[in-house]
Amino acid sequence: MLAIENVSRTFSNGETGFKNLNLSVKKGEVIGILGTSGCGKSTLLRVLSGLDEHYDGQVKIDGESVTAVHEKIGMIFQEPRLLPWLKVRENIPFGLKSDEHKTEKALKYIESVGLNGFENHYPKDLSGGMAQRVAIARALVTAPEILLLDEPFSALDAFTKMQLQDLLLAIWQQYHSTILLVTHDIDEALYLCDRILILRGQPGEIYEELTIPKLKPRGRGDAELAKMKDQIIKLLDLSQINNK
């Protein structure tokens, strides 16, 4: 479905976001991308989405080389990026074509992300986490085949976070979306992903790739997953992060 061959991204100022990435993703797979801050995760998602065409190497979706945004792509940015002139219930269906039962779907997703009662609020009147939830709903409502998520749940409290992780899982089960999830939360990656890539360094490179064979839905307190968590923490080498 998605194939990345030897992809690097070097900015015009000579800085390199990430380098020599190879990855091939099957339909319906959920890939987690873990890595320290600044190792090029957001840059990678921008390249995959087609927003950033100035990369070296090959990115292919269904065998086609990516030169612009592919219609199968959906994305949740690291920031909410809501349209300030639209109410919550207009922001959510922003990406839907006009004939797709906009209001119904919007209302359904407002419910799913727990924003009942805020339909008519403008983005300026939302909290950071609420704005992020609107952005999540806006991306999920279009049910894209490939969903790129850049730390989507990082602004949320633990409980809402779990609810939305389950929402994402439900979407995945319903549509068999292919998902690439950038996250700093190891538990989240273990809960949702089939494979976890660990990026390290600046510029970032793939340091390790872990496969999590367990079927979803998984238990949050699973002992096997807890073991993997320890392994991941070692791989991320937290001692190096601490003195950064």
Partner 1 sequence: MMSVKATVVSTEVGQKSKKGFQVNATLKTAALGAVVPLILVIAWEYLSRTGVFPPHLLPAPSVICQSLMNMSAEGNLWGHIGITLYRLFIGFLIGTAAAVVLGAAVGYLKKAESLFDPLIQAFRSIPSLAWVPLFILWMGIGEPSKVVLIAVGVFFPVYLNIVSGIQSVDRKLIEVGKIYNFSSLQLIRRIILPASLPSFLVGLRSGLGLGWMFVVAAELMGASTGIGYLLVYGQNTYSPDLIISSIVLFAILGKITDSILKTFEAKALHWQDTIEKKA
Q: How far is the CB of 54 from partner 1 (least distance, A)?
A: 15
Give the helix, strand, coil percentages of the chain, each rounded to 5. Answer: 35, 25, 40
Q: Residues near 181 by Cβ (< 8 Å), separated by ≥ 6?
A: 30, 31, 32, 33, 149, 152, 188, 189, 192, 193
- Of the candidate spans 70-78, 152-160, 191-199, 215-223, the one that interacts with partner 1 by CB under 8 A turns out to be 70-78
Q: Is the peptide bond before 93 cis (omega within 30 degrees of 0)?
A: no
Q: At a CB cut-off of 8 Å and minimum separation 6, what does 196 contact? A: 31, 32, 33, 34, 189, 190, 209, 210, 212, 232
Among 6, 22, 69, 127, binds partner 1 (CB under 8 A): 69
> Does 17 sit near ligand ATP (CB under 6 A)?
yes
Residue 5 in contact with ligand ATP, rule: CB under 6 A: no
* H helix runs in 8-127, sequence order: 41-49, 88-91, 102-112
Question: Site mask, partner 1, residues 192-221, x = CB under 8 A?
Answer: ------------------------------
**Smallest separation (angstroms) from ligand ATP to the CB of 2:** 18
Name which position in 8, 102, 122, 169 contacts partner 1 (CB under 8 A).
122
Residues interacting with Mg ion, by CB under 5 A?
A: 42, 78
Q: Per CB under 8 A, does 85 bind partner 1?
A: yes
Give the separation between CA 18 and CA 134, rounded to whole angstroms: 30
Q: Is 180 in the site for ligand ATP (CB under 6 A)?
A: no
Write out the residues near partner 1 by the rule CB under 8 A.
49, 51, 69, 71, 73-75, 77, 79, 81, 83-86, 94-95, 122-124, 142
Write out the residues near ligand ATP by the rule CB under 6 A.
11, 13, 15, 17, 35, 37-43, 78
